[in-house]
Amino acid sequence: MQEFQSWLDQHQESMADELEQLCNLNSGSHSNDGLTQVADWLVDYFAPLKVPVQTIELQSYEAVDDLGLRRTYKTGNALRWDIGCLPSESSKRLLLSIHYDTVYGPESPFQKCVRYSSRDANGHLENRMRGPGVIDAKGGLVVMRWAAMAAQRFLDLSRTSLTIITTPDEEIGSPASIRLWQEIAGQFDFAMLFEPTLPDGSLVSNRKGTGTFVIVVRGKAAHAGRNFLDGRNAVVHASKLAVAIDSLNGRRSDVTLNVGRIRGGDAVNVVPDMAVIRVNVRVTDKGDSQWVESQVQQIAQEFNFPENGYTVEMHGGLLSAPKPIDRETSHWMQVVEQAGAMVDQSIRWKASGGASDGNKLASLGLSNIDTFGPEGDLLHSDQEWVRLASLAKKAILAVAVINQINNESTVLKF
Ligand SMILES: [Zn+2]
């Protein structure tokens, strides 16, 4: 048993307590007050690393609101800490990262953690905690912080630089932190992201690509009684368009389109002149991306007939490219497997339909493994739970991986 293993194991209880505290603070992606509060909490939480924190103000971003208007939004700050040796051409430069926003806003009834025990797949009782963000991704923040502390304490980091970054907007597609990723992705050799491990303990190998189309449909308002026939009902037009988009499902295997939201209309005695449709899509490769983009575009065009009083505008698109297993990724998968063997963890891999910042970093040329977070399930629901023992387990794996990379004799160039 390595020294760092027993040290991390001994701190199992603290990890669970810290996670409970952190999850009980709301940081929904759209709540800037909550994001600020949690960022302040994280500054204190990472203080034992004894390196200065860098607060990175992210640029504002534009999005289309439910009235079909382009609006500018501001999110929270990203935080950065640098440990290990100074980054240089001869050192191995690792990025450790995870987001601190969650999908649960302050209005959600799901705000507090509850601990309980439950049987695992083999019928053994295990300790769990249910709560907002316990695995997605506040559990990842706890694992990352303990891994960084253990690496600093037990490893010789004279040839490895570790940069830790946490971001406030992953759950809404990283519209602001994408600029940060574009700026810095080229400065690292490898990234470790602390998104949740799958419930059976598997890590994610490849991920689907994803994106959201926002389709703004405009018609013409009219009094529902006095001049109904002069109106052009945007809600009805949008509904037909939504059905056309939905009919693309099944046309190409592994491509899915989810018409997730339609907003439009107000008073029922008015023919509605506006509706906004949001469609989330998942694709497996570049061919799929092009296919889905052109199909949705074509449908939008087919429903755009201004001469009849209807206009259709399309916004958004595929923001996260698929994350395939390329040559470089399979190298890093091997490194993780070797590191796992050193700490008695056998590593299994599975594909996932969910995207992460790992997709974005990979498409910017930064190879990464993105499931160093704890084990659990049912994220994005009020049943989200974490297996508490996996906090220390995953911190141990992360340190073993850093150790393995640190000990490799050459810097890898692909
Ligand atoms: Zn998530």
User: Tens of pLDDT along 329-374?
Assistant: 999 999 999 999 999 999 999 999 889 999 999 999 999 999 999 9
First to last CA, the chain: 33
What separation in Å is there between the alpha carbon of 173 and the centre of ligand 1? Answer: 10
What domains are there in the chain, each with its CATH number? 3-207+323-407 (3.40.630.10), 209-320 (3.30.70.360)
How many angstroms separate the alpha carbon of residue 304 from the centre of ligand 1? 34
Q: How far apart are the CA of 386 and the centre of ligand 1, in A?
A: 14
Greater confidence, 35 or 1? 35
Give the per-residue pLDDT at 221: 97
What is the predicted pLDDT for the residue at 235?
98
Distance 89 CA to ligand 1 centre (A): 34
Measure the CA dihedral 183/362/70/229, to 10°. Answer: 170
What DSSP state is assigned to residue 47? G
User: What mean pLDDT is predicted for residues 260-287?
Assistant: 96
Is 80 exceeded by the pLDDT of residue 245? Answer: yes
Confidence of residue 412 (pLDDT cuts 50, 70, 90): low
For residues 260-277, give the mean pLDDT.
97
Q: What is the mean pLDDT of the chain?
A: 95
For residues 264 and 274, give the distance between their C-alpha atoms in angstroms, rounded to a whole number.
6
Radius of gyration of the chain (CA): 23
When pLDDT is averaged across residues 140-163 and rounded to a whole number, the result is: 96
From ligand 1's centre to the CA of 172, what distance in Å? 9
Query: Crossing angle of helices 138-154/32-45, nearest 10°?
Result: 20
Give the model confidence (pLDDT) of 367-409 as tens digits.
999 999 999 999 999 999 999 999 999 999 999 999 999 988 6
| Of 407 and 23, more confident | 23
Residue 1: pLDDT over 80: no
Q: What spacing in Å lies between the alpha carbon of 103 and ligand 1's midpoint?
A: 7
How much distance in Å is there from the Cα of 379 to the middle of ligand 1? 7
- In percent, the amount of the chain with pLDDT more than 90 equals 93
Taking CA atoms, 69 is separated from 171, 173, 174, 215, 389, in Å, by 22, 19, 20, 11, 47
- What is the number of other CB atoms lying within 10 angstroms of the CB of residue 211? 21
From ligand 1's centre to the CA of 208, what distance in Å? 14
Angle, CA of 406, 136 and 278, to the nearest 5°: 120
Distance 219 CA to ligand 1 centre (A): 35
CA dist 393 and 387 (Å) reads 10
Q: How far is the CA of 37 from the centre of ligand 1 (A)?
A: 20
- Which residue type occupies 272? P
Separation of 332 CA from ligand 1 center, angstroms? Answer: 23
Q: Which residues is 203 bridged to in the sheet?
A: 349
Centroid of ligand 1 to alpha carbon of 347 (angstroms): 23
Q: 222 — phi, psi (to 5°)?
A: -160, 160
Integer Cα distance of 221 and 218 in angstroms:
9
pLDDT in tens, 220-241: 999 999 999 999 999 999 999 9
Six-digit token string for 358: 């790992």
Query: 96: which strand partners?
Result: 164, 192
**Where are the strands (E) in 18-60, listed by range?**
54-56
Q: Please give the pLDDT value at position 85.
A: 84
How far, in Å, is the centroid of ligand 1 from the Cα of 133?
8
Instruction: Give residue 413's pLDDT band: very low, low, confident or very high (50, 70, 90).
Output: low
For residue 247, report the distance from its CA to the centre of ligand 1, in Å.
27
Distance from residue 354's CA to the centre of ligand 1 (Å): 8
Whether residue 3 is predicted with pLDDT greater than 60 in this model: the reply is yes
- Cα 199 to ligand 1 centroid, rounded to whole Å: 15
At 26, list the tokens.
Answer: 């709301």
Name the E strands within 270-367. 270-271, 274-283, 311-320, 349-352
Residues 6+ apart with CB under 8 A from 1: none
Whole-angstrom distance, CA of residue 389 vs CA of residue 119: 13
- Ligand 1 geometric centre to CA of 196 (Å): 9
Q: What are phi and psi of 391, to 5 degrees?
A: -65, -55
Distance 136 CA to ligand 1 centre (A): 5
Cβ pair 207, 322 in contact under 8 A: yes
Query: What is the amino acid identity at position 338?
Result: Q
Q: Tell whether the model's pLDDT for residue 414 goes beyond 90.
A: no
Residue 314 binned pLDDT confidence (cut-offs 50, 70, 90)? very high
Q: What pTM does this model have? A: 0.92
State the distance from the centre of ligand 1 to the C-alpha of 137, rounded, in angstroms.
7
pLDDT band at 121 (very low <50, low <70, confident <90, very high): confident
- Write down the pLDDT at residue 216: 98
According to the model, what pLDDT value does residue 410 have? 54
